[in-house]
A and B are shown apart, each in its own frame.
Chain A
Amino acid sequence: MSKQDLYKRIELIHHTKREIQPDPAWVLRTRQTLLMQVANSMPPAKASLGARIGGIFSYFFPSRLIAAIRGPVLATLSIAGVVTGGSIASVSAAENAIPGDLLYPVKLATEQTRLILAKSTSDKLKLKTEFVERRGAEMKTIATSDRPEKQQQLKDAAQSLRRDLDTVKLQLTEISHQESSVQAAESAKLVDQKSSELAVTLKDVKVSVSDEVRADLAEAEVAAVNTGTKAVQLLIETQQDPAAQGVVTREELLQSIHVKVQGLEQNITDAAQRISGSTSTILTLTATGTVPLPSGSSTASSSDLVLSAHHSLEQTKQLLQENKLGEINDQLTETIQAIATMEASVASTPMTTSSTPATSSTSSASGASVIPSSTSQ
């Protein structure tokens, strides 16, 4: 066997190995058997408090290291304790840390540990939603601070937040498959509420940042709206189960969908204004307003996508007005996909002027048109 042949075979082995999975039924059976044996052979007596405290340190630091540093560390701690009068390593200090602080990695590590130890997907989702809320609060704190590197920290935080929101969406999908309708509805209700609050927080933060960071924050805001929409879709699905109807009433659900539709409408308006700002265009204005139609052919596809997303949203609004919950879900999915395609196209459109973020669905100061609020004919 030549060297090339050897490496080729090794590559094939790795490829095959990646696809090997144990039988899920066997995994579960073995786990149950193993835990029975573990529980039967587990010693009954708990360790004494002193042994437990010593045990905590021995798991995280080798015994030789502890012996070596014990003397100097105790001396330092006692001096520092006298000087500061406070605790050196404080969990609450880590809890209040924000990006850039010394204890911020400790905060993230604690969150990660809590996530890994959560037993069910709905527990993980609750924790993840709590942490996403924390990220929003941290970004608000950074935005109002005088830190010199706050723009970059906000940019990084916004990107991290988008990833976290994607995780929440995946977890919602898992819950819809794995857990009961009631549990799924409760999880979705929580996500809907928190994502709406997050979108408002991000909107506030956007006001006081540079254009470059504003784009990242806008994307995070879109992600928050999309996550909330995903939650609402799950709530619509669970409405078919009478048990889950106690978690959220039809009226509450319709109101929530209405809010989501407004958020999606804002996305489309923002995209339309970004396009209109990037080319010299002839804006088409009517009394009720329409989407600005750029005249340049290079942006024709982006405007088509904007129109397509707008049309899809109008159909969603129509179904909402007619209270057709059963059909709204599919239409919402189509609308979100149309908006995602639109966003991707707009993001790749070169900007020649800085865009002014829309803060409401009404016309901007220049009188540029907006999406009509009435339903399509």
Chain B
Amino acid sequence: MTNLVDQYLIFRIRTKRDPEAFGRIYDRYVGAIYRFVFLKLPSKEAAEDVTSETFLRCWQYLQQNKEVTHVRALLYRIARNLVVDAYRKNDALKMGTVTFSSSDPSNESEGDLSDKNRGRDLIETRADMALIFAKISRLKEDYQDVLTLRLIDGLSFGDIAKIMEKTVGHVRVIHHRAMKALDTLSSSHDS
């Protein structure tokens, strides 16, 4: 059903030349893409930049009249590539030396106790993610990709398959092998 609506919106963009249809795609996915990139980037501003760039690139892709079977997967793929680019460009990010912002994702007034608690939660969450990435980074690249998208981002195998441009069956196999490899790593840690 979701894909049917997206396909209809793309149809309106390309044949009816309706900019508002792209606005509807934006409305549908801006929150999800923002959440996808937020914890991977050091600040709210970086997450906002990457999110808006994602939609701009999606628009540029649509203009090329290439076939788009799954808008959501396209957006995730673009966002993921932009995050990777951000890491490539920013040596500090690569070295893990960036101090991640503790600011709340939405604009709340400073000094509020709940904001401070949320800020602390975000720092802890980012620290957890850094630990998990450090563990996963010891695996093969395909394994890393599938595990990150599945475990951290909580995407379905269908979405992951479209993002990685593989079949669902192939993704499931990679996931199974990746989990076994992760178990082996964890076991060697425990011992």
Binding site for B on A (CB under 8 A): 1-3, 6, 9-10, 12-14, 16-17, 19-27, 30-31, 33-35, 37-39, 41-44, 46-47, 51-52, 55-56, 58-60, 62-63, 109, 112-113, 116-117, 119
Contacts and interface: CB of A to CB of B under 8 A. Distances in A.
Nearest to A7: B151
Given A6-B182, A37-B56, A47-B14, 7 more contacts: A2-B189, A13-B39, A17-B39, A23-B48, A38-B59, A43-B17, A55-B11
A22 B107 contact: no
Given A23-B105, A30-B48, A6 B7 contact: no
Contact of A31 (B10, B23, B47, B122): B23
B186 to A, nearest CB: 4
Contacts of B84: none
B34 A22 contact: yes
A24 B23 CA distance: 15
- 9 closest pairs, A vs B, by CB? A9-B128, A3-B186, A16-B125, A22-B34, A59-B7, A38-B19, A39-B19, A20-B105, A52-B15
A21 B132 contact: no
A30 B22 CA distance: 13
A10 B151 contact: yes
B23 A6 contact: no
A17 B106 contact: no
DSSP class of A's interface residues: helix, strand, loop or mixed? helix
B19 A59 contact: no
B19 A13 contact: no
Contacts of B128: 9, 12-13
Given A23-B106, A37-B56, A41-B63, A14 B154 contact: yes
Given A21-B31, A112-B1, A42 B17 contact: yes
Contacts of A116: 5, 24
Contacts of B135: 1, 6
A35 B125 CA distance: 34
A1 B19 contact: no
A10 B152 contact: yes
A126 B28 CA distance: 21
B67 A58 contact: yes
Interface in B42-69: 44, 47-48, 51-52, 55-56, 59, 63, 67, 69
Interface string B91-119: 00000000000000111000000000010
Contacts of B141: none
Nearest to A25: B107
B105 A21 contact: yes
A1 B131 contact: yes
Contacts of B129: 13
Contacts of A33: 52
A330 to B, nearest CB: 31
21 contacts: A2-B186, A6-B132, A9-B132, A12-B124, A16-B122, A17-B35, A17-B38, A17-B154, A21-B34, A25-B107, A26-B48, A31-B27, A35-B23, A38-B19, A38-B22, A41-B63, A46-B17, A51-B15, A55-B11, A62-B69, A117-B5
A60 B3 CA distance: 9
A13 B129 CA distance: 7
A2 B19 contact: no
A52 B11 CA distance: 9
B24 A46 contact: no
A23 B107 contact: yes
Interface in B136-191: 151-152, 154, 182-183, 186-187, 189-190
Given A16-B122, A34-B26, A117-B24, A1 B189 contact: yes
Contact of B8 (A17, A26, A51, A113): A113
A55 B107 CA distance: 43
Given A1-B189, A3-B186, A62-B67, A20 B59 contact: no
A62 B69 CA distance: 8
Contacts of B44: 23
A2 B188 CA distance: 9
Contacts of A12: 124-125, 128
Contacts of B69: 62
Contacts of A56: 11, 15
A246 to B, nearest CB: 31
A113 B12 CA distance: 13
B34 A20 contact: yes
A18 to B, nearest CB: 8
A23 B105 CA distance: 7
B71 to A, nearest CB: 11
